[in-house]
Homo-oligomer: A and B are copies of this chain.
Amino acid sequence: MAVGARRWVGMWDALPDAARSIVKELIIHGPQSRTALSRTLHLSTGSLTRLTKPMVDAGLLVEGDVVHDPVNGRPTRPLDVAAGEHRFLGLKLTADRVYAVVTDLRAEIVAARDEPIGDHSPSAVCDQAKRLLDELSGGAGALVGAGVTVGGNARASAQVGGERLVDAPYLGWWQVELKPLMERALGVPCVVKNDVAALAHQHHWFGPGRGLRDFALVTIGAGIGYALIVHDHLVAATEADLGMFGHLVLQPGGPMCPEGHRGCAAAYLSGWSVEATAGHALRRTVTYDEVMRLATEGDRVCLGVVREAAQALGRLIGHVATISMVKTVILAGEGVELARIAKDDLARALTENRRDVPGSVDVVIEADDFREWARGGAVVAIQSFVTGSD
């Protein structure tokens, strides 16, 4: 199939923006008739005919079976993207492991794997990525692009002289030009992004943020992550901004975080704080997962710690909703367990911080799965391919 399936390669770069917007809409919201597309994209039906014809001819779009939706009128011939003929690689790098997924054009995971990072040097990591890619990409579909996300306590990539440089202290990286290195290793265009930003993009196109113009994403794990989508676009965050959020003061004079702030979000929510607080009361060292397990089993100390954290999270979400005026806040990361266990405490604290108006914020708790972070990388690669920028 490979040859026939790749007729669209090469044509893609020359497509006008309107054509790209059609593909984007079909990817995000599924098969639609030309008329439906013309309405949502504010294009004339004439333009739709003209734009779609070459893409159908090239095999980039496929025309579905005739559907007879309306009571009256001519039946529709829905269009869809040939999602299965495209493959994207998504990678997430942490201090000790690399997570990899291969997806199709709709970010559906085709194959996934994770393994320890052997050699931490940038070029070795690129080689490892190439090897992972070869192992994962059996069968159909041509690799179109790759997205790498660096996370944890990594700093955002900085724009310097037109080249994106990556700082990832936990990998020992400083001003690494990862993009060209990775592109040489993989042979396809690569995108490098902050991991929380990538996860926000993923939720925007393929998750609970689909169709929403505005929402916030809060991730809870070793640290606290934050991303904001407003007017359908990610709000650009500087390196400094990303760190600020976790240290937002929720309770002046409250418990202390490792940086010495009292009552900040990290002092309640970060993995370190949860372990330290519970460990202090239990008089032994405990892991994060253990605290969660004990809390679920009804241990009073751990439940107390978790409830306190959930209340802090509720207040934090309240602040986010009030100031950014989003109606939806998505929670993700290992720490969401906390929000599930003490759901009521979270909801109560949120409502108290929203003038006692219940239901004014939609809080979505996402399942925690390492593959989601890698999928975020695939999503930014898909976006880069579709929109043709960044």
Chain A interface (Cβ < 8 Å from any Cβ of B): 214, 226, 228, 230-231, 233, 235-238, 240-241, 243-245, 247-249, 251-252, 259, 261, 315, 318-325, 352-355, 357, 360
Contact = CB atoms under 8 A, between A and B. Distances in A.
A228 B324 contact: yes
Contacts of A320: 323
A354 B259 CA distance: 12
Contact of A322 (B241, B352, B353): B241
Contacts of A245: 322-323
B228 A325 contact: yes
Contact of A355 (B228, B244, B360): B244
A319 to B, nearest CB: 6
Contacts of A235: 214, 230-231, 324-325
18 contacts: A228-B323, A228-B325, A231-B231, A231-B233, A240-B360, A241-B322, A241-B325, A244-B322, A244-B354, A244-B355, A244-B360, A245-B322, A245-B323, A248-B319, A248-B323, A248-B353, A251-B252, A319-B323
Closest 5 CB pairs of A and B: A323-B323, A244-B322, A230-B230, A241-B325, A231-B231
A264 to B, nearest CB: 9
A245 B231 CA distance: 20
Contacts of A228: 323-325
Given A231-B230, A315-B249, A325 B355 contact: no
Q: Which of A235, A319, A321, A325 has the most CB of B within 10 A?
A: A325
Copies in the complex: 2
A251 B249 CA distance: 9
A241 to B, nearest CB: 5
Contacts of A248: 319, 322-323, 353
Nearest to A227: B325
A352 B244 CA distance: 11
A68 B162 CA distance: 32
Nearest to A226: B323
Contacts of A357: 240
Contacts of A259: 355
Contact of A323 (B324, B352, B353): B324
Contacts of A352: 249
B353 A249 contact: yes
A226 B319 CA distance: 14
A258 to B, nearest CB: 12
A226 to B, nearest CB: 8
A319 B321 CA distance: 12
Contacts of A322: 241, 244-245, 248
Nearest to A265: B322
B252 A325 contact: no
Nearest to A261: B355
A81 B228 CA distance: 37
A251 B254 CA distance: 11
Contacts of A319: 248, 319, 323
Given A244-B355, A248-B322, A259-B355, 17 more contacts: A214-B235, A230-B230, A230-B231, A230-B235, A235-B324, A236-B325, A238-B325, A240-B357, A240-B360, A241-B322, A245-B323, A248-B323, A249-B318, A249-B352, A249-B353, A261-B355, A324-B324
